[in-house]
Structure 1
Amino acid sequence: MTPETPASASFGGTAVSPGERRRRIRGVFEAIAPRYDLMNDLMSFGIHRLWKRTLARRCEDYRGIVVDLAGGTGDMAARLCAEGRTVIVCDPSWAMMSVGRRRGIPAVWSAGEAERLPFASASVDLLTLSFGLRNTTEIGAALAEIHRVLKPGGCFACLEFSRPAWWLAPVYDRYSRLVIPRLGAAVAGRPEAYTYLIESIRRFPDQQALAATLSATGFQSVHWENLSFGIACIHYARRSP
């Protein structure tokens, strides 16, 4: 699967301009922000917490400037906060970040989009991204920006939904198509928002395709780790020293 280009940006299966796609995605997250974490718990039976905990453990040796991109309500940032780190949550939605700020998570909060990161070149030691790369307008542009802001030798760790094992795929597909939008209607009152989120998962590149895009962007040491039989996956990559 090829990442979207500006000319092929879409939302809900309808072709739209990159700017309109960006506006609609921001509207989705502003609408569901108050119950976003609750919905994640219900949709994944709480397993997303284990996935994020795994990501935090894999990155525990890094110190310095840590950016959690598309950090939203700060649940990942809370796991990343540690001595010797300055953790920055970067997200385009202040509605999402305000949830985390009210919780008192000890992070710096910065509005910004993946395609235009508000950080200097070669200034970030570790950049994490959890379930947000698929919501970018241009995956290639976002990865190029991430590569730009990382210091030489800096690490990019991306947790995303991916392609489950063949024997699990039919069950997972039915669950995501039939159950998750109904949960979105019952709990968050926005079934269309969760219909979009499921569509974005299906359109996202699989493990091999995303790894190839990372390598083509200039990252080194590219590899991935499947979680829950491939339902989710952590991709790892470094900027060359």
Structure 2
Amino acid sequence: MDFDLPVVADPSVDADLALLLEHRPSNISGMFDSIADHYDRLDRLLSAGLDEHWRSHLVRDLGLTGSEAVLDLCSGTGEVALSLRRCGAAAVTAVDFAPEMLKIAESKARNAGIDGIRFICADALHIPLGSASVDVATMAFGLRNVEDPLAAIAEISRVLRPGGRLSILELSRPPSVVRRIYLGYFEHVLPWVGRLLSHHRDAYRYLPASVEAFPPPAQVAAMISAAGFEHIHVTPVSGGVAHCYSARKPKPEA
């Protein structure tokens, strides 16, 4: 099965935006660094204010017991990492390839008096952790930004212990009427507001374009399966504007 992201062939997509949609790590990390100071507000806009609810759902459904070592991949400004510690994770490793985003995450942790989070600047395809070293892995709004989503999921599998859990939250193309409303918001409202918040015009065009170019939920679930996970569940939220993907790494047979 081919898991490559769609090639952008629309002639209306200019060269700068097309380059970002190739998902080269240096281009994408640079883009996120350029909007780091505005990213949390952008997330509110991109999700129509629902992102905090979705993240809370992601963390709450993990049912952390207080003993888990958790990897938060594509951690960005640290919203999920901080929530994981607040909800009982024993230790959190927050990994992102955009250093300016991680600086904001570290500042948030200091200001909130939250310890137990290790921040590492690294690519999702090369996680600097040992094999079978974490119990849980999370990724919120990051999978569509990596160069090779299947390879990233396989790398997560490497660092998870047998029986470890994976939980991914990602925006998606909603169906029918919801799709038309949301895409209208994406195409007409978000870029206009984005220009008011940042001088990096391409970033605010890339983010909705990356959602439109991302594979549908069934294909994402197939990637998770291809990476060796089992017990895969796909849950649409807010009418399919986003989806939660949960899975487990198999334990060896006795």
> When the two structures are superposed, what TM-score results if normalisation uses the length of structure 1?
0.91
- Among 37, 41, 57, the residue aligned to 1:34: 37
1:84/1:43 CA distance change after superposition, 3 Å: closer
Tell me the SS of whatever aligns to 1:167.
Answer: helix
1:94/1:233 CA distance change after superposition, 3 Å: same
Report if the CA contact (8 A) 2:21-2:206 is conserved.
no
Residue of structure 2 in register with 1:54 after alignment: 57
Alignment map for 1:1-241 (pairs within 5 Å): 2-4=2-4, 12-14=17-19, 21-61=24-64, 63-81=67-85, 82-83=87-88, 85-103=90-108, 104=110, 105-106=114-115, 107-241=117-251
Tell me the SS of whatever aligns to 2:132.
Answer: coil
- C-alpha distance in 2, partners of 1:145/1:52? 22
Tell me the SS of whatever aligns to 1:146.
Answer: helix
1:45/1:198 CA distance change after superposition, 3 Å: closer
Tell me the SS of whatever aligns to 2:166.
Answer: strand
**Over 6 Å off, 4+ runs:** 8-11, 15-18
Alpha-carbon deviations, 1:99-152, whole Å to 9, x = none? 121121431101111111111111110000000001100111111101111100
Tell me the SS of whatever aligns to 1:102.
Answer: helix
- C-alpha distance in 2, partners of 1:234/1:84? 20
> When the two structures are superposed, what TM-score results if normalisation uses the length of structure 2?
0.87
Alpha-carbon deviations, 1:29-63, whole Å to 9, x = none? 00000111122123333210000010011112353
Mark the runs of 5 or more structure 2 residues left unpaired by the alignment.
9-14
Amino acid at match of 1:4: D
Report if the CA contact (8 A) 1:181-1:192 is conserved.
no
Query: How many residues align structurally?
Result: 237
Mark the runs of 5 or more structure 1 residues left unpaired by the alignment.
none
Tell me the SS of whatever aligns to 1:163.
Answer: coil
- C-alpha distance in 2, partners of 1:157/1:17? 25
Seq. identity, %? 34
Shift of 1:15: 9.0
